Structure 1
Amino acid sequence: MTNEKKHKQPKYSLEFKQDAANLVLEKGYSQQQAADHLGISLSALGRWVRAESKPITHGSATKKPNLSLGDQDELIRLRRENEQLRMEREILKKAAVSSTGGRNTLIKFITGRYKTKRLSRSGIEF
């Protein structure tokens, strides 16, 4: 294995992707011209153009639905949020399990398993 660095894919904003796709779809640029002008790869621009030009269709479960760039962005955001909520839920579950000792103590206290002091108006009774 060589010590070559992996090429990181640049992150482009949703607005940039939509504008780049619109250069091809609305302004009449070829994909090659737009990609060269913007300094992006032809394959990335092609994906963005396909995403913007195809209507949303809900196909079978085996195929990926064709989503617009805006929908793709929202889907990514919702998946991240969903993952964060799952992690928070797991943390809360673990906290609830570790705190059951305190709950059992309270239940034992209420059911009389521990000797308790009775309070009366005159003072403490044993």
Structure 2
Amino acid sequence: MATRYTDEFRRDAVRIATTSGLTRPQAASDLGIGLSTLNKWVQKHQHDDLMSGPHEDVEKENERLRKEARLLREEREVLKNLSGPQPACARYKQPVLCCA
């Protein structure tokens, strides 16, 4: 009896085969399907918009990545300011002698 795959699995398989940079035999092997099956799916769905429909997981990942990028930019700015011009005593870890 032939294995039945969901439409979502087929769309994901086509997306992986066309955008992952893997060869089709590699993608088919990774997905556990036959190469001829994957080729048929790609031919059938090559004109479909593979990212259409609800993709909450993609939206959540994009939001997480935006937050992470913002945090990294802020950390970079802080580190830039710390490594800016410093008095000689700070560069050489010597105590500051003040006569104030």
Q: Give the TM-score range, shorter chain.
A: 0.3 to 0.5
Higher relative contact order, structure no. (Cα contacts within 8 Å, ≥ 6 residues apart): 2
Task: Return the TM-score normalized by structure 2.
Answer: 0.44
- In proportion to residue count, which structure has more helix? 2
Rg comparison, structure with higher value: 1
TM-score (norm 1): 0.36
